[in-house]
Amino acid sequence: DAFLTMVLMGAMHGASSGFLSLSMPNTFSMSPNYVRKYIEKNGLKRPDRDAFQVIRKRCRRFLRKGGLPGSGRAIHGDVRDLNESVGIEPGSVRLIFSSPPYLKVIKYGMYNWIRLWWLLGEHKSVDGKLDDAHSIKPYIDFIGEVLRTTMPLLDPHRGIACWVIGDVKKKNVASVNLAKKTWEALSEVEALDANGKLAKYRLLGIFEDSIPKSSKVTRIWKSKTDKSGKATVVDRILIICHEDANPLPIIPNGQISWEPMQP
Closest CA to 186 of 238, 261, 258: 238
Mapped to the 3 state alphabet, what secondary structure does the chain carry?
A: CHHHHHHHHHHCCECCCCCCCCECCCCCCCCHHHHHHHHHHHCCCCCCCCHHHHHHHHHHHHCCCCCCCCCCCCCCCCHHHHHHCCCCCCCCECEEEECCCCCCCCCCCHHHHHHHHHHCCCCHHHHHHCCCCCCHHHHHHHHHHHHHHHHHHECCCCCEEEEEEECEEECCEEEECHHHHHHHHHCCCCEECCCCCEECEEEEEEEEEECCHHHCHHHCCCCCCCCCCCCCCEEEEEEEEECCCCCCCCCCHHHCCCCCCCC
Looking at domain 79-248, its CATH class is alpha beta
What are residue 242's DSSP bridge partners? Answer: 201
Are the C-beta atoms of 56 and 8 separated by less than 8 Å?
Answer: no
Q: What is the dihedral of CA 41, 44, 46, 48, to 10 degrees?
A: 180
Along the 263 residues of the chain, how does pLDDT read in single tens digits?
788 999 999 999 888 889 998 888 888 788 888 888 988 998 888 889 999 999 999 999 989 888 777 777 888 888 888 877 677 899 999 999 998 776 655 677 888 888 888 888 888 887 777 665 567 888 899 999 999 999 999 999 999 999 999 888 767 777 889 999 999 999 999 999 999 999 999 999 999 876 665 555 545 444 444 444 455 568 899 999 999 999 876 556 666 565 655 44
Residue 81 CA to residue 98 CA, distance in Å, equals 15
- pLDDT (0 to 100) of residue 58: 94
Answer for the pair 154, 191: CB distance below 8 angstroms, yes or no: no
**Whole-angstrom Cα distance, residue 27 to residue 156?**
34
Question: Which class for 21: exposed (0-12), middle (13-18), buried (19 or more C-beta within 10 A)?
Answer: middle
State residue 104's pLDDT score: 56
- Domain borders along the chain are 2-62, 79-248
> What is the distance between the alpha carbons of residues 167 and 99, in angstroms, rounded to a whole number?
13
